[in-house]
Amino acid sequence: MAGCASERAPLEPSYRDNIAALVAARCTSCHSGDAPAGALRLVSYLDLIGCANGEPLTLGADPKLLRALESPSHASVIDTKPRLAQWLARGAPLSNGGVHPPDFVDPRSAAAHGRFLRDRRWKPMLDLKDADACGKCHAGTPASGASMAPGATTCTSCHTESVLACNTCHGAAEAYPPRDACFFPGEKAGAHAAHAEPSASAPAGVPCAGCHPVPTDGRPAGAHGDGGAQVYLASGSFNATTKTCTTTCHAGTGALRPTPNWTDGKMACGDCHAAPPPAHPAGACANCHSPLLHVNGRLDLGDGSGKCGACHGVADDPRPKTAAHGKHAFDCNTCHAVDAKHPDGMLSVRLLGLAAKGGRAPVYDAATKTCTSTYCHDLAGGSHRTPKWSETLTGCNACHSSPPPPPHTTSVGCGTARCHLDVAGKHVNGAIDL
């Protein structure tokens, strides 16, 4: 108390000491909220050292942050440039010191806390007895003490979901790699999205545990937290050197890419199996196979039920709902050849049964989609004796004159004349029912 005092040197610029206040006073009136100017929020340290439109704000010989200040739209805040430039020249530190290095929070730094914890196999985060235990000062760790250090940052202020959330260590908004390209440039995307995201063949996506060891309690431990990307495939193998997979998913008969590389582009039909496979009928895959059942380990037809309705129709009803199918309540083999070659990828039509009643020779023209010379439609006086498959026939005289020629009565009230009471049920049944 009786000694001398020397003047303390002014603090070098750091985010906590002065840059945060500067940005709050001069920038956040435009760069904050749900719709910030230029889609850029500047309300936190990570915002300021982050990216804008994929370009880092604070890195490089001519940082984007300083270039933006020189634009006419920022003329009123150009005076902030010298202070911000001085801060960037120091490496954009969070603080001027303390318990941790100034760049302990910067994900790009070699001294970042994420790298520190990974090198220590996350022990400071998981073990309160560790000399460097995070939980002695910070709330929000898996192992936290009874009392926190005054003013110590809470882990969940940045890791809003949890420090044990999958995207805390790998991934960004998603729970799988790559991480944020702004803070971790150069990381390749690989095929994680193709496997983890919902798709037609895997509506729920492939879970992480399908390829990697995943701890049951979420804590990195054992093979999950050994610093390497361990891959364990239930069926097949992964070559860590060439980054190629040999699995039943891709190595089908005639596959063009039976051992795809993890960084290869999108797979197409023919990469995993010949398209069509050997001795397979020609035609579009969707004619017979549902994309929802793709890569399920079985060769399913249609919806996989094994019934006629699996490929056409609904459930146990094999009748398609297209065009005039619903109007023809006959057996399928009245119009189609249902034999050992079915399905052959073609809509083969040959008319038999009722259509050929009375010695007729009915014909279906696939080009015009019309029926000719059928007992059902080609009757005396009909106005639509060669109907198209896609048209709807209306009126009694579409197939025969109304009333039919003599000796039929001249009455046009088919049902009211008490002659044909069940017009709907017994119409076109091959007999003239009274």
CB 366 within 8 A of CB 380: no
Q: Could you tell me the two tokens for 306?
A: 């094994």
Instruction: Give the range among 141-145, 380-384, 399-403, 428-432 with minimum mean pLDDT.
Output: 428-432
Mean of per-residue pLDDT scores for the chain: 85
pLDDT, position 172: 85
More confident residue, 237 or 287: 237
pLDDT, position 241: 92
Closest to 163 measured CA to CA, from 154, 155, 171: 155
Each residue's pLDDT tens digit, 379-417: 888 888 899 988 888 877 888 888 888 888 888 777 665
pLDDT, position 416: 66
Count the neighbouring beta carbons within 10 Å of the beta carbon of residue 228. 9
* Mean pLDDT in residue range 121-148: 89
The model carries a pTM of 0.65
CB 266 within 8 A of CB 280: no
* Mean pLDDT in residue range 122-142: 92
Each residue's pLDDT tens digit, 79-126: 999 999 999 998 899 888 778 888 898 998 889 999 999 999 999 999
Closest to 169 measured CA to CA, from 219, 207, 104, 238: 219
CA 107/CA 23 separation, integer angstroms: 21
pLDDT, position 5: 67
Instruction: Give the range among 1-10, 156-165, 182-191 with minimum mean pLDDT.
Output: 1-10
Each residue's pLDDT tens digit, 6-20: 665 556 899 988 999
Closest to 19 measured CA to CA, from 75, 94, 110, 72: 94
How would you class 360 by CB atoms within 10 Å of its CB: exposed for 0-12, middle for 13-18, buried for 19 or more?
middle
Count the neighbouring beta carbons within 10 Å of the beta carbon of residue 234. 9
Q: Could you tell me the two tokens for 244?
A: 């190629």
Each residue's pLDDT tens digit, 38-80: 889 999 999 999 998 888 898 888 999 999 999 999 999 999 9
Q: What angle do CA 270, 280, 262 make, to 5 degrees?
A: 20
Q: Amino acid letter at 11?
A: L
Closest to 231 measured CA to CA, from 248, 210, 251: 210
